[in-house]
């Protein structure tokens, strides 16, 4: 442990922030910890917001972490405004530190227009939106990505008349590509899915489309992605590019400052490129490395990114980084349970997406971690376990 780290400030009280606190204490850090959270809630998980909470199966998703036991000074409802010379400027005044964890996450992108539009990022967002999903309500969901699909699932289940507006040629185009996304198109049964359709503005009573046309809606939900919440760092002497730039140890360009979660753009040794992954698994795992780095220990963050989505009665799981792949191989027919594998030039597995085939996901993730090559002739046979395709 480095003696000069006596007060660690953690900015961001989401999962990445609270796990950073836990990791510091687990590694024996006995100094002062201050946790700053923009929301007034205690820390909670975000994935259930678009699943169990939105569907009415849960009221909250609070993290089971006792900040009093962890001897952490929690500042709820406080926003970080700027960073300078070892000081975090907040809405409640200045806070000095000698160790800093940046965990401010990401903020939803909104569309132009004067009409009301809802996003799904916070617990309050989920509870407000859930109250509006009533039978017969006309709901327009902008974006057929992961969040859009999950919102549409909940709205259809609630008996709403749902329209999904997607700029791309298929659902999930931006996330995994149009070819694979097209395999989920049949899941939108009972939903007015409008592909290759651009939104001009959100207006009172609905959505105006580019080129004319208007989709009437009582509720408009925008799910077109997020941006890293780093505006408060604009004037800091910090390397920012698609988030807070870090090395493989999650160190930033400032001494004794690390970054974790949705706002961190970290270097992956495995894939040989910088990644910023907006998924729960990253917020869960990165804090261990960040805490170790902050305390002067040697640790490397190089996971196989993992994500899951529950939509239209299907469990979709993803592991890896598909841009590192050069070709796509399918296992199983589109009408049943299937998976897709992205292969690199040397036939190593870059990523796997499994639709209702959890075994493929588990085995595929291990194969990516190990860097094994695959026999492509066996790979296309869905009856052959993925692990048996290893060369």
Q: What is the pLDDT of residues 109-127, one digit of tens each?
A: 999 999 999 999 999 999 9
Read off the pTM: 0.95
Q: pLDDT digits over 218-254, tens only?
A: 999 999 999 999 999 999 999 999 999 999 999 999 9
Instruction: Give the chain's residues under pLDDT 50.
Output: 1-3
| Cα gap 21→23, rounded to integer Å | 5
Euclidean distance between CA atoms 235 and 246, whole angstroms: 18
Under CATH, what is the fold of the domain 7-107+226-294?
FAD/NAD(P)-binding domain (3.50.50)
Long-range CB pairs of 342-346 (<8 Å, 24+ gap) are 343/374, 343/376, 346/373
pLDDT at residue number 281: 93
Find out whether 72 and 35 touch, Cβ atoms under 8 Å: yes
- Check: CB of residue 78 under 8 Å from CB of residue 90: yes
Domain 110-222 has CATH 3.50.50.60: yes
- What's the distance, CA 269 to chain centroid? 21
CA 341 to chain centre: 21
Domain range summary for the chain, segments of one domain joined by +: 7-107+226-294, 110-222, 315-389
Tokens of 311: 């939509």
Write down how long the chain is: 391
CB 121 within 8 A of CB 226: yes
Round to whole Å and give the CA distance between 10 and 73.
Answer: 10
């299907």: which residue's tokens? 314
DSSP-assigned beta bridge partners for residue 216: 206
For residue range 169-188, list pLDDT tens digits in order. Answer: 999 999 999 999 999 999 99
Number of H helices, E strands in the chain: 9, 25
- Match 């965990």 to its residue by tokens: 103
Return the CATH number of the domain spanning residue range 315-389: 3.30.390.30
Longest dimension (CA), the chain: 64
Domains 7-107+226-294 and 110-222 share a fold: yes
């Amino acid at each position: 442990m480095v003696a000069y780290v006596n007060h660690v400030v953690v900015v961001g009280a989401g999962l990445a922030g609270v796990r950073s606190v836990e990791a510091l204490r687990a590694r024996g850090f006995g100094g002062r910890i201050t946790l700053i959270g923009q929301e007034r809630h205690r820390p909670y998980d975000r994935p259930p917001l678009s699943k169990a909470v939105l569907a009415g199966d849960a009221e909250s998703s609070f993290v089971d972490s006792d900040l009093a036991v962890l001897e952490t000074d929690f500042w709820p409802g406080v926003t970080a405004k700027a960073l300078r010379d070892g000081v975090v400027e907040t809405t409640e005044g200045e806070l000095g530190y000698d160790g800093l964890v940046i965990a401010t996450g990401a903020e939803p992108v909104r569309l132009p227009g004067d009409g009301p539009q809802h996003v799904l990022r916070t617990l309050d967002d989920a509870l407000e939106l859930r109250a509006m999903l009533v039978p017969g309500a006309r709901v327009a969901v902008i974006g057929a990505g992961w969040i859009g699909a999950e919102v549409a699932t909940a709205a259809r289940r609630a008996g709403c008349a749902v329209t999904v507006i997607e700029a791309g040629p298929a659902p999930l185009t931006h996330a995994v590509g149009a070819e694979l996304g097209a395999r989920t198109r049949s899941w939108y049964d009972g939903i007015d899915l409008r592909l290759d359709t651009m939104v001009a503005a959100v207006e009172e009573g609905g959505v105006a489309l580019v080129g004319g046309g208007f989709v009437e809606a009582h509720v408009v939900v925008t799910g077109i992605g997020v941006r890293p919440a780093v505006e408060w760092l604009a004037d800091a002497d910090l390397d920012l590019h698609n988030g807070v730039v870090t090395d493989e140890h999650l160190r930033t360009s400032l001494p004794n400052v690390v970054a974790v979660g949705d706002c961190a753009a970290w270097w992956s040794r495995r894939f040989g490129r910088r990644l910023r992954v907006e998924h729960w698994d990253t917020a869960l795992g990165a804090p261990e490395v960040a805490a170790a780095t902050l305390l002067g220990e040697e640790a490397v963050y190089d996971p196989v990114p993992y994500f899951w989505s529950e939509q239209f009665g299907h469990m979709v799981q993803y592991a890896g980084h598909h841009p590192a792949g050069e070709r796509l191989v399918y296992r199983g027919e589109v009408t049943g349970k299937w998976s897709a594998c992205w292969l690199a030039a040397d036939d190593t597995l870059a990523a796997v997406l499994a639709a209702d085939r959890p075994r493929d996901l588990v085995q595929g993730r291990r194969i990516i971690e190990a860097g094994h090559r695959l026999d492509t002739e066996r790979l296309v046979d869905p009856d052959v376990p993925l692990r048996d395709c290893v060369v």
